Amino acid sequence: MPKLLKAPTRTVRSRVFDSARWDGYRPRNDDIIIATYSKCGTTWMQRIVGMLLFQSAAPTSIWDLSPWPDMRLFGPIEAELAKAEAQSHRRFFKTHLPLDALPIYEGVKVIHVARDGRDAAMSLHNHLANFTPKTLNDLNAISRADPKFGNDYPPTPKDPAQFFSDWIDDGGAQGDIGAGFYCVENSYWSQRANPDVLLVHYNDMKADRAGEMRRVAAFLGIETPAPLWKDLVAAAGFEAMKEQGAELIPAAAQLWVEGASRFMNKGTNGRWQSVVSADDLRRYDAQIERHFAPELARWLEHGRLVAGDPQPPPR
């Protein structure tokens, strides 16, 4: 059992995520945790890591390969942990929790993917506004049964501008500020000098997918033969993933109207520019200034290729 380096210092229980579900996690010293705020490229990174680990571009069910302990919609945690225990390959987990709500063990690698909050919010609106009736019923049941909430899951505004206006206040926390954008991003930024934490930005993955995949491969200590590399990079493209969406995310058919096609919606940035009001953009800027150091704010808006590498070189 790897050595525990740092126990969680924060408990997060939103209407959707619960850090207590990690309590039974039994780490292995080569585990990988892909950690993000929602809609920042999580599934994209899971696909990349899975292809690197298995050295194959063949489409495989990402969520079956990559356990997600904190997701309350997945039912009793015992089944998710049992799935992880049964895996004999190098494991890669998913989380939407801040880093200080997770146990940190020696040897476990953490990949954090970030995105401009305005783009994440627009994508999150599409995500939440298109749940199937069954998903909404399940969310309502979880929320009603939790004494912290005791009522239905709040309805998502149909208007993306209204959604963004509400989102600005707490960064889409869904019932626990620790699950909000501002807290999540600060928690990983604070560990940017940690050699076991890699910060990746959505913009950079779009601008130089092959280069960012090489950064991930180097971080994980994985070498890929040159003839296969082209196939992996091509399979990690948005259009390729969307075309194979039903194979990559088969569970999406039960969770979203239009299934994987809705889950992998557009993969673009800047949609907020024609949607949100000037007043709300000023409110957003004020929140960014309030919550983030200038260096973090610049990196979140632009990514490493424009703002510079947030991680200092090894000493």
Inter-CA distances, 221 with 159, 216, 217, Å: 45, 9, 6
Look at the chain and report how many structural domains it folds into.
1
Q: Amino acid identity, residue 114?
A: A
SS3 letters across 57-126: CCCCCHHHHCCCCCEHHHCCHHHHHHHHHHCCCCCEEEECCCHHHCCEECCCEEEEEECCHHHHHHHHHH
Give domain status of residue 314, yes or no.
Answer: no
Cα-flanking dihedrals φ and ψ of residue 38, to 5°?
-55, 140
* Predicted structure pTM score: 0.95
What is the model's pLDDT at position 248? 87
- The token duo for 39 is 């809609």
* Domain at 192, CATH number: 3.40.50.300
Phi-psi region of 259 (alpha: psi -120 to 50; beta: other; left: phi over 0): left
List of residues 6+ apart from 244 with CB closer than 8 A:
59, 235
pLDDT per residue as tens, the chain (315 positions): 899 999 999 999 999 999 999 999 999 999 999 999 999 999 999 999 999 999 999 999 988 999 999 999 998 999 999 999 999 999 999 999 999 999 999 999 999 999 999 999 999 998 899 899 999 999 999 999 999 999 999 999 999 999 999 999 999 999 999 999 999 999 999 999 999 999 999 999 999 999 999 999 999 999 999 999 999 999 999 889 988 888 888 877 778 775 555 555 566 778 899 899 999 999 999 999 999 999 999 999 999 999 999 877 665
- Segments forming the whole domain that contains residue 60: 4-307
Give domain status of residue 313, yes or no.
Answer: no
Give domain status of residue 242, yes or no.
Answer: yes
What is the model's pLDDT at position 102? 98
Give domain status of residue 133, yes or no.
Answer: yes
Give domain status of residue 71, yes or no.
Answer: yes
